[in-house]
Amino acid sequence: MTIHPAKLVLADGTVFEGEAIGVYPESGIATGEVVFNTVMAGYQEVITDPSYAGQIITFTYPHIGNYGVTDLDNESRGTFCRGVVVRDLARRRSNWRSTADLSSLLETQGIPGIAGVDTRQLTRHIRDAGAMPAAFGTADEVALKNAAAAEPETTGVDMVATVTCDEPYSVPFSGGGEAPRSIVAIDFGIKSNIVRNLSHFGSVEVVPASTSANDILARNPSGVFLSNGPGDPEPVDYAQEAIKAMLGEVPIFGICLGHQLLSLALGAKTFKLPFGHHGGNHPVKRLSNSHTEITSQNHNYCVDCGGVQGIELTHVNLNDDTVEGIRSTEVPAFSVQYHPEASPGPHDSNYLFQSFADLMDGHK
């Protein structure tokens, strides 16, 4: 196999050497915002998560691709990340479920990547300097530096519009028979496993992010779900307005970006974290019973709800004390910053889907 040397150049000029994997544009340059993810398994689910739109994913676990890939584990209809960075890309897959190797996924999805990188050093650098734009590829170092310097940050950009579905679609109640509830899920970049979890509690209709409150309420849902998604919640103002119009009309449950959008609609603020939370082992304290949940997370922005009337803090991140969950004390609405559906990650927080079902039943 021919090895093509490649380089990763951060916006601050830091250079990492490796070898090209996946598929590059003709220019030999790919760009995006570099973040790191600490999962030890679940690389396919991470790569196919729409929340990574605009980002280059660095996997901190050194050996990636050893169990291959299967279409059954895709978390969306395609891929939206800008690329992947790994230390060691497995040359052979070993798992009875796999139908192809990771290299094939990168090639079929047109994802560029770079292997052989000292990802420990890169992660330490991002942790200290913060997530930042970068360029990587087979082009010369000067061209890569210029591309990295020209790459814009994601702040203030509506990334949701690049990942949401074009038309509504329905998923039937997985329990068979008549659905006990009807759920409308707003797609800000929804993961497949979220839809599967929701379908355990009723029929699900997934609608585009731009769907109006009137259109959603006209469907007479038992509840409305606000999905995960990429980027800065501030410019997704159309969703905030729709959520405001639905508050008190129907029970609402939000995850990740949906949590941030609900919080903004309730009067809170959001801010960007230095390097975000990306991984499957973040400890979160549930304040109602002081239990600790190990959670799956993927977000660059965070909620500040301090001093806002009508919002109760429900969950806190034990690593940095950031807000991980809130509920409204005035209307039936709650949300969490992390991913209770996991995929990949632990299932400690899966009870939240039942909590949503209970909230819908109590609102009848």
Please check whether residue 287 is in contact with residue 313, taking contact to mean a CB–CB distance below 8 angstroms.
yes
| Tens-place pLDDT, residues 175-184 | 988 999 999 9
Residues 360-364, mean pLDDT to the nearest whole number: 89
Confidence band for 115, pLDDT divided at 50, 70 and 90: very high
Distance set, CA 77 to CA 34, 70, 102, 144 (Å): 23, 13, 17, 30
Peptide bond into 344 cis (omega under 30): yes
Domains in the chain: ranges and CATH: 5-150 (3.50.30.20), 160-362 (3.40.50.880)
Q: Which two tokens stand for residue 6?
A: 């490649």
Listed residue (216, 301, 302, 285) closest to 251, CA to CA: 216
Q: Would residue 315 show up in a list of annotated catalytic residues for this protein?
A: no
Please check whether residue 207 is in contact with residue 187, taking contact to mean a CB–CB distance below 8 angstroms.
yes
| Tens-place pLDDT, residues 146-172 | 999 999 988 999 999 999 999 999 999
| Tens-place pLDDT, residues 24-58 | 999 999 999 999 999 999 999 999 999 999 999 99
Dihedral (CA of 134, 232, 302, 164) sign: negative
What pTM value is reported for the model?
Answer: 0.96
Query: SS3 for 315?
Result: strand
Q: Would residue 324 show up in a list of annotated catalytic residues for this protein?
A: no
Spatial neighbors of 242 by CB under 8 A, at least 6 apart, are 186, 211, 212, 213, 216
Judge residue 152's burial from the number of C-beta atoms within 10 Å of its C-beta, 0-12 exposed, 13-18 middle, 19 or more buried.
Answer: exposed
Distance CA(104)–CA(115), nearest Å, equals 15
In the predicted model, is pLDDT for residue 2 greater than 80? no
Q: What is the number of alpha carbons within 13 Å of residue 47 lying toward its C-beta?
A: 30
Catalytic residue among 256, 277, 299, 305: 256
Spatial neighbors of 322 by CB under 8 A, at least 6 apart, are 273, 277, 302, 303, 316, 337
In the predicted model, is pLDDT for residue 188 greater than 80? yes
In the predicted model, is pLDDT for residue 364 greater than 80? no
Single-letter code of the amino acid located at 156: G
| Phi, psi of 162, deg, nearest 5 | -85, -10
Q: Would residue 293 show up in a list of annotated catalytic residues for this protein?
A: no
| Tens-place pLDDT, residues 298-315 | 999 999 999 899 999 999
Catalytic residue among 45, 151, 234, 341: 341
Please check whether residue 134 is in contact with residue 83, taking contact to mean a CB–CB distance below 8 angstroms.
no
| Tens-place pLDDT, residues 60-83 | 999 999 999 999 999 999 899 999
| Tens-place pLDDT, residues 228-261 | 999 999 999 999 999 999 999 999 999 999 999 9
Q: Which two tokens stand for residue 44?
A: 């396919």
Looking at residue 180, its pLDDT comes to 97
Distance CA(252)–CA(186), nearest Å, equals 11
Distance CA(199)–CA(114), nearest Å, equals 38
